[in-house]
Amino acid sequence: MTDHVYNVLFLCTGNSARSILGEAILNKDGEGRFRAFSAGSQPKGEVHPLAIKELDALGYSTENLSSKSWDEFSGTDAPQMDFIFTVCDNAAGEACPVWIGHPMTAHWGIEDPAAFEGNEAEKQRAFAQAARFLKNRISAFLSLPHATIDRMALQNHLKEIGTMEGSTQTNVENN
């Protein structure tokens, strides 16, 4: 068993909902084997309050969560990422910065709960669903034998995870 802690970056455009959910879920469920971060190409500047509410309801820490630019993770002083997952179709289609260390990447697109229109209870259900879809993907990711699997097989598994329940059409078309 390796003591290596894997760095994982979740990306979306606004870094206010989906990528934040991914960061919080992996930081707890990864049990110290993974250190998760999140960022956006055009960060909103604040975490969506319903994302915070959902994470609190599920027992995940919301301390230190913030909306930030992906530029913070592309410099030479940034933590080197092992994995980068885009969770929105817009971010997947954008020209990303050059990431140091050639991390493995995959698109795990799900619908944006922040864009859901409805009453407060319906909006909260959209956030609950997004959290469930991300938690399922993260559980599948955590079950992979990261230290022993070859890079190509791991990349294939990462792409397959992106097609799990709740995938956006971009995931299905690209896999």
Confidence label for 92 from pLDDT (cuts 50, 70 and 90): low
pLDDT of 174 over the 80 cut: no
**pLDDT value at residue 94:** 63
CA distance 161 to 143: 11
Structure tokens at 141: 């990711």
CA 40 to CA 24: how far, in whole Å? 15
Whether residue 23 contacts residue 53, with contact meaning beta carbons closer than 8 Å, is answered with: no
Quote the CA–CA distance of 23 and 89 in Å, as a whole number. Answer: 18
CATH architecture, domain 6-163: 3-Layer(aba) Sandwich (3.40)
Question: What pLDDT does residue 105 have?
Answer: 92
pLDDT (0 to 100) of residue 44: 95
Identify the sign of the CA torsion 73, 75, 80, 84: positive
Mean pLDDT of the chain: 91
